[in-house]
């Protein structure tokens, strides 16, 4: 009886919020609909590398934590949470490998699984892709004539 009494004294909003967070974190695995934007960016980054390098000892820095962080423009510590969730969901796996140009130290390298590749291919059009073309505001610049570089230009 006391446990029920104590539970009813907890504010209803607080109990619902904590319960929702607890249920999401503990009982439900990461589904395809629950992939965050940072996880999508990581999956997109890792999907550009072939699955052929999954068994090779020497790998590029781009699939190690520092390389992923540099490629996405974030700090390394920002990747730990999203990578752990992706690993628990089976979209990414990690292993130890030698990073080329990284000395003799072994590092954890990350690879995207087939499940992760399927997600990226199914949601590729929905992912936000930044435009790599610039926009000109105002008047267009005048035509510029280049002197002394005719051999290089043609």
**The model's pTM:** 0.60
- Beta strand pairing call for 92-99 and 58-59: parallel
Of 3.40.50.2300, 1.20.1740.10, 1.10.10.10, 3.30.1950.10, which CATH number belongs to 32-125? 1.10.10.10
Domain definitions of the chain by residue range:
32-125
User: Is residue 85 a contact partner of residue 39, using CB atoms and an 8 Å limit?
Assistant: yes
pLDDT in tens, 15-39: 444 444 444 444 444 444 578 888 9
Taking Cα atoms as reference points, which of 18, 16, 39 lies closest to residue 110? 39
Query: DSSP string spanning 129-147?
Result: ----S----SSPPPP----
pLDDT in tens, 62-119: 999 999 999 999 998 999 999 999 999 999 999 998 888 878 888 889 999 999 999 9
């Amino acid at each position: 009886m006391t446990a029920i009494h104590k539970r009813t004294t907890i504010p209803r909003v607080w109990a619902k919020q904590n319960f929702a967070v607890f249920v999401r974190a503990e009982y439900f695995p990461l589904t395809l609909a629950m992939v965050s934007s940072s996880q999508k960016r990581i999956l997109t980054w890792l999907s550009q590398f072939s699955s052929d390098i999954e068994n090779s000892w020497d790998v590029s820095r781009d699939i190690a934590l520092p390389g992923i962080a540099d490629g996405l423009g974030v700090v390394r510590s920002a990747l730990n949470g999203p990578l752990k969730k992706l690993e628990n969901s089976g979209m990414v796996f990690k292993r130890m490998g030698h990073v080329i140009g990284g000395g003799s130290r072994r590092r954890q390298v990350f690879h995207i699984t087939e499940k992760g590749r399927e997600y990226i291919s199914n949601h590729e059009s929905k992912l936000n892709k930044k435009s790599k073309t610039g926009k000109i505001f105002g008047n267009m610049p005048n035509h510029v004539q280049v002197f002394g570089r005719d051999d290089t230009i043609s």
